[in-house]
Amino acid sequence: MKKIRLALIYGGTSGEHSISRITAGGILRALDPQRYDVVSIGIRPDGTWVPGEVDPAAMTMDSGLGEVPESDRRIVLPPGDGSQPLLELSADGTDARVLGPIDVAFPVLHGPFGEDGTIQGLFEMANVPYVGCGVLASAAGMDKDMMKKVLVSAGLPVGPYVGVTARQWRTERDQVLAAVAELEFPVYVKPARAGSSLGISRVERIDDVAAAVDEAQRHDPKVVIEQGIAGREIEVAVLGGGADGPARASLPGEVLLEAPTAGFYDFESKYVDTDGLTMSIPAQISPETTDAVRELAVRAFDAFECEGLTRVDFFVRESGEVLINEINTMPGFTPFSMYPTMWEATGIPYAELIDELVRLALDRPRGLR
């Protein structure tokens, strides 16, 4: 059987560069060499595409939160009908090597300029099948303000929040703070288009909101300020159905922190200081709540017209009320991340999950759909 030529693309220009690299290491280790011919492509923090690493042992959490190494070679994916080859060029453009076409791209990029519809648009222009959501779902899902607007328009439940653009913060700060004062404290101030809990602050008083916005704007000029919700944080992984089949929801999971130093599940507790962190899968919630979050997760997937994969995060209040916190169209995908771990508990092991995502990418139509 002809091998599938897969471009594994990782790194990127966002603050989640190192996590993307670790994700790529996990996928590279799991890909069956009898089935896949892998072309590894790293995106440097400056946006340069370079030949990627081929040893998954060099891309693990144990090896540290490193970055894509420098190279004097460049990788180029030109537009075309899908049959055009990848090119490898010298940095000065004087030497070129044809790498041949690829069958499918697997971008494991998190954050802006990777998860937000930008690289998805490049693949669409190149007519190259790719794993994951399309341009619209990726862009709307990445922006927490637009995300909530889509969820509300679809009749899905979200908590109170205030969205703040850079212009509004410069010219309408008093009005923004007045709107925030209407929320119940504590509030969470977040970059609108960052992930992995980067730049998030928990704020107890209105007087501290401005400093928290300044911190969030170090990662993104646009900010969302969300009312804190007292409840358990439950997650559900969603996988596309393929063809005209319905999307599938995993068993729900819950991240449990014994003593979170920052008061919430932040970047440090996710990736660095993970002592006291456990994942409960399936989450210990009632059958009725389990059914509710799984149904809402699929409805959210459909509301954004997602493809491939999405993780939907919920708050479940003591009353039983369920609110959608956010969706993530390229969730963490190391072998130990919640998305693949939830599918493992639901009956799809990591390597099989990768195969299924590649199949979904290859099977869906190109162009408008």
Residue 127 assigned ligand-binding role: no
Residue 326 assigned ligand-binding role: yes
Catalytic residue among 16, 115, 233, 344: 16
Check if 63 is active-site: no
Check if 337 is active-site: yes
Separation in Å, CA 107 to CA 93, 132, 146, 224: 25, 8, 23, 26
Compute the 3-state secondary structure of the chain and give helix, strand, coil in percent, each to the nearest 5. 30, 25, 45
Please give the DSSP secondary-structure letter assigned to residue 268: I
Residue 328 assigned ligand-binding role: yes
Please give the DSSP secondary-structure letter assigned to residue 56: G
Catalytic residue among 14, 138, 250, 337: 337
Q: What residues have CB less than 8 Å from 249, skipping those under 6 apart?
A: 236, 237, 238, 294, 295, 297, 298
- The residue whose two tokens read 């139509």 is 365
- The residue whose two tokens read 């995993």 is 250
- What is the DSSP code string of 189-246? EEETT--TTTT-EEESSGGGHHHHHHHHTTT-S-EEEEE---SEEEEEEEE---TTPP
d(CA 53, CA 287): 44
Please give the DSSP secondary-structure letter assigned to residue 57: G
Separation in Å, CA 346 to CA 6, 212, 251, 252, 336: 26, 39, 6, 9, 15
- The residue whose two tokens read 């963490």 is 332
Tokens of 28: 């590279």
SS3 state at 86: strand
Catalytic residue among 14, 18, 40, 196: 196
d(CA 333, CA 330): 8
User: Which backbone phi and psi does 73 adopt, to 5 degrees?
Assistant: -115, 155
Starting at the earlier edge strand, list the strands of the sheet with 49-51.
49-51, 36-43, 4-11, 104-107
- The residue whose two tokens read 């200081």 is 273
Check if 196 is active-site: yes
Residues forming the active site: 16, 196, 337
Q: Residue positions in the annotated binding site? A: 313, 326, 328
Q: Residue positions in the annotated binding site for Mg(2+)? A: 313, 326, 328
